[in-house]
Amino acid sequence: MQYTMLGNSDLKVSRVCLGTMTFGTQNSEADAHRQLDFALARGINFIDTAEMYSVPPDAGSYGKTETYIGSWLKRQARDRIVLATKISGPGRTIKWIRNGDLGLNRKNIRTALEGSLARLQTDYVDLYQLHWPDRNTPLFGQYQFDPEKERDFVPPEETLAALAELVEEGRVRYVGLSNETPWGVMQFLHQAGKHGLPRVVSVQNAYSLLNRTWEMGLAEIGFRENVGLLAYSPLAFGLLSGKYLADSQAKGRLNLFPGFAQRYSKANVQPAVAAYAELARANGLTPIQLALGFVASRRFVASTIIGATTLEQLVEDISACSTVLADGVLQQIEALHLRYSNPAP
């Protein structure tokens, strides 16, 4: 396992991160503990979760993922684990979280963190992330900014000031963003510098062979400002495994939870998936090796977040992240990227 320093923090994280959003809906507590034990044994020290999990989000599954991690974490040496979680923001219909009061202000941030710490059975988190922006911005498969949807939002400096208190209290070590745009990242960086507030060290955004939008603006910001990408959905909700090519009704999240398919139902997604699968086979690789090997090899990816519903999938995914792609394969990937440019933004 390889490790890297996350942004300008002193967090040394594994280049592979265990995503946990299946814990509580698709995975039992015992399943979750087996995955966590295996990941730790393979050198993964970085675990990502969120107060909203498990998914799909509902009142019955709310907080289960953190609870399952907490019952495991209490048996571990806490300083061996880099633990990341997220606070939910406004703009989604999740009334069971703080009665729908989700603005990223001081009251809600403190309440959310206290709940997460209790479920996780720890007195601090290493990385506390804003799950999505407070303001109006395209999310989760939307890709066009619509000024008609403008709403009031908590200013970034107010959110950072609330997070600064938690850092000073020792309950949060570092802060990060998620599902952010170039404008949003630069706003948080600017306000942190202007007011002496915590600087974000990472951004957790979708990144895969089907969605390389990070490269179109955020990559330069990440490089110049030393902000790492935590790449989620590197298999594009399982599509890049190739399993749906042979059987469109294959068991998996895409069919179990069709509400999540918005990002992956666009016109060029299926042709792109088929082309990448064929490229993999032509070069003696599995589609998973091609997809995860590509993401994990990008210089701007601090850690690749993988999630699995079975231990067998987890074994395969961890191994695939270490796949070294030949220069010729990378050139072929770029050719396909120009043909099918970001079909699932």
Closest by alpha carbon to 319, among 46, 84, 39, 69? 39
Residue type, 48: D
Please say whether the beta carbons of 2 and 304 come within 8 A. no
Distance CA 181, CA 102 (A): 20
- For residue 113, report the phi and psi dihedrals to the nearest 5 degrees: -65, -40
Distance CA 199, CA 225 (A): 10
Please say whether the beta carbons of 244 and 272 come within 8 A. no
Q: Is-cis flag, bond preceding 54, omega within 30?
A: yes
Catalytic entry in 53, 174, 276, 340: 53
Residues pairing with 12 in the sheet:
5
As given in the structure block, the two tokens for residue 249 are 């009704």
As given in the structure block, the two tokens for residue 92 are 């989604």
- For residue 79, report the phi and psi dihedrals to the nearest 5 degrees: -75, -5
DSSP 313: H
Give the relative orientation of helices 287-297 and 327-339 as an angle to the nearest 10 degrees. 90
DSSP 216: G
Residue tagged 């265990």 (tokens)? 18
The reply to whether 53 belongs to the active site is yes
Distance CA 141, CA 210 (A): 12
Question: Which residue blocks in the chain are alpha helix, DSSP H?
Answer: 29-41, 64-73, 106-120, 156-168, 182-195, 218-225, 243-246, 253-256, 269-282, 287-297, 311-320, 327-339
Please say whether the beta carbons of 175 and 129 come within 8 A. yes
> Which residues belong to the active site?
53
